[in-house]
Amino acid sequence: MDAGDGDLFENAGPPVQHGGSGHRARLRERMLTGGPEALADYEVLEYLLFGANARGDTKPMAKTLLARFGSLSGVLNAEPAALKQVKGLSDAGVGAIKIAGLAARRMARSEVQQQPVLGSWQALMDYLTIDMAHLTHERVRVLYLNVRNRLLLDHVAHDGTIDEASIHPREVIKRGLDIGASALILVHNHPSGNPEPSRAEIQVTNRIAEAGRLLGITVHDHVIVGREGQVSLKAKGLI
């Protein structure tokens, strides 16, 4: 190294810290010591975006995302293409948001898989809400259970409106027989947000339940998920 190089490093001085470094440290400290409610929703998003934006202020982007998608869940469950339409959000930022959503779904799913479904109903509702409440299209799933009411198979049966043209009772029950299921729970979502069942949904549910009774598979419930909550057809006395 020549003398010029030495002068260069000697005059460089201490590393310059950007103005937000203290804020980030305080936010991290609150997260680590303050419990689950220590951070507001926009601050959770701020923190998620730190790694994707090493120096910039991530608070404006966090608040923009919440305004665009309505809630923290809405942001985490947004499609990548929709997130990329938000001005200033990098691919790295989209990735940070999507991996957080994936981690939340995996954690909720593990709670469902580790114990009998009927004995952990709230865990099931949490999982279904995280996974389906913010879908922009209808999806029909069948949760097949064994004799101990543990999850055998979480089957995506159809993307689209639920009726007998798309969901055939015999096919639903046959799939259960093929895998040795003794019971099932139907699940689908309403993108409108309102989880109240339609007449067609009630009718096809009862036909599936009737087919199941004939072949020894119990239909425990049909749960409809929306952003405004969940509805159990069994709880409403509709099956």
Three state DSSP letters for 144-182: EECCCCCEEEEEEEEECCCCCCCCCHHHHHHHHHHHCCC
Question: How many angstroms separate the CA atoms of 163 and 217, rounded?
Answer: 20
CA distances, 199 to each of 55, 204, 205 (Å): 54, 9, 10
Name the nearest CA neighbour of 29 among 38, 37, 20, 41: 38
**Contact status, residue 23 vs residue 53, Cβ threshold 8 Å:** no
Chunked mean pLDDT (size 10), the chain, 239 residues: 42 45 83 82 90 83 92 88 92 92 83 76 86 86 93 88 74 95 95 91 94 95 92 93
Q: What's residue 4's pLDDT?
A: 45
Question: How many angstroms separate the CA atoms of 133 and 195, rounded?
Answer: 10
pTM comes to: 0.68
Q: What is the distance, to the nearest Å, from the Cα of residue 163 to the centroid of all Cα atoms in its chain?
A: 25
Q: What's residue 113's pLDDT?
A: 72
**Contact status, residue 173 vs residue 156, Cβ threshold 8 Å:** no
Sorted by where each begins, the domain ranges of the chain are: 17-107, 117-232
Report the chain's terminal Cα–Cα distance, integer Å: 82
Q: What one-letter code names the amino acid at 57?
A: D
List the CATH code of the domain at 117-232. Answer: 3.40.140.10
